[in-house]
Amino acid sequence: MFEAEGLKVYFSAGRSGLFARKYVHAVDGVSFLIREGEVFGLVGESGSGKTTIGRVLCRLTSPTSGTVSFEGKDITKLRGERLKRYRRQVQMIFQDPYESLNPYSTVVDAVTFPMRVQGLVDNRNQARRDCEELLDRVGLRRHDVMSKYPHELSGGERQRVSIARALAVRPRFIVADEPVSMLDISIQAGILNLMMDLKKEYGLTYMLITHDLRVTQYMSDRIAVMYLGKLVELAPGEELMKHQFHPYSQLLVSSAASFELGGERKETWSGKGEIPSAIDPPSGCRFHPRCPFRVEECDREEPKLRMIRPDHYLSCFNPQ
């Protein structure tokens, strides 16, 4: 469905001298494929570039270089009517529905607006009926919420409204960026189950961005691990949870496990050290300053992502 090749996104970060410009290397040469119908999980710590990748797929951010194609067509070159049609197929759900919903729009306006912009409804009544059906579908009582404003809803209800709004244009692909991390743990499962039901019903494909491995593990067919703008490992979800070869993936999995084991970390190392800056990333492998298994070439050469088992990709000189 999607194919990204050598994707880079740099953001300007002022000047470091009279002439030299500084850049945040938010995404720095990432390639991946997303298959139709799958849940593609994207994990990694804060600032590793996950949201930026999601925004590029939704055409909310332009890449600095590299290509991204959707069903064989380069999305970075779409303009006008074709861009509008593309936007209908691809939607994003954000971490904080309170921020992504307009505080001055009622639920019915928020959900019907994209339908009207995309010309999917002939009149207000039809838009209203479609909205009512969508609200039912996402588990909200239509009459209770239709005319409410975002601040009159609970966090879980707001996220359900954002899901309804994303579905309003009948998309095929949804980027869900930390869809439950702002929500009370008791209602997280409800939202995730809803997303899985909708996926089946509407034949959706998801990119699921999260720093919580328990969420991706539960939802994802494949999991991609990012570290400081790079993809370090990519494998089927179950495989990655059992066999991680990159020290950073191991750190992620063991910290998730230590959560469940009540603070008892299974690994003997904790990946100490500050997260290096994305403005001036470390040479060679970006993880080498924090890596207890580093070998000589790690700070000189950049490891390439290569297949080490069927459907399992890794970029590391000294896999564990």
Helix (H) or strand (E) run with residue 2 in it: strand 2-15
Give the pairing of strands 222-227 and 39-43: parallel
Q: Residue 124 is encoded by which pair of tokens?
A: 């207000």
DSSP letter, residue 278: S
Strands (E), 170-258: 173-177, 205-209, 222-227, 230-236
Number of residues near Mg ion (by CB under 5 A): 1
Q: Are 199 and 21 in contact (CB under 8 A)?
A: no
Number of residues counted as binding ligand ATP (CB under 6 A): 13
Q: Does 24 bind ligand ATP (CB under 6 A)?
A: yes
Interface residue with ligand ATP among 37, 47, 139, 276 (CB under 6 A) is 47
Please say whether the beta carbons of 315 and 306 come within 8 A: yes
CB of 271 to ligand ATP, least distance (A): 16
Determine if 278 is a binding residue for ligand ATP (CB under 6 A). yes
Part of the chain binding ligand ATP (CB under 6 A), chosen from 39-47, 70-78, 212-220, 255-263: 39-47
In terms of CB distance, is 91 or 112 closer to Mg ion? Answer: 91
User: Site mask, ligand ATP, residues 75-104, x = CB under 6 A?
Assistant: ------------------------------
The reply on whether position 51 binds Mg ion by CB under 5 A is: yes
Q: Which does 47 bind (CB under 5 to 8 A by kind): ligand ATP, Mg ion, none?
A: ligand ATP
CA distance from start to end of the chain: 32
In the complex, residue closest to Mg ion by CB: 51
**Closest CA relative to residue 165, chosen from 82, 104, 95, 97:** 97
- The SS3 assignment for 31 reads strand
**Is residue 26 at the binding interface for ligand ATP, with CB under 6 A as the rule?**
yes
Token digits of residue 307: 């297949």
Q: Which entry of ligand ATP, Mg ion, none binds 37, CB below 5 to 8 A by partner kind? A: none
State how far the Cα of 98 lies from the Cα of 8, in Å rounded to an integer: 30
Locate 137 and state its tokens: 């579908």
Binding mask 196-235 for ligand ATP (x = CB under 6 A): ---------------x------------------------
β-partners of residue 25 are 10
The partner in contact with residue 162, picked from ligand ATP, Mg ion, none with C-beta cut-offs of 5 to 8 angstroms by kind, is: none
Binding site for Mg ion (CB under 5 A): 51
Binding site for ligand ATP (CB under 6 A): 11, 24, 26, 44, 46-52, 211, 278
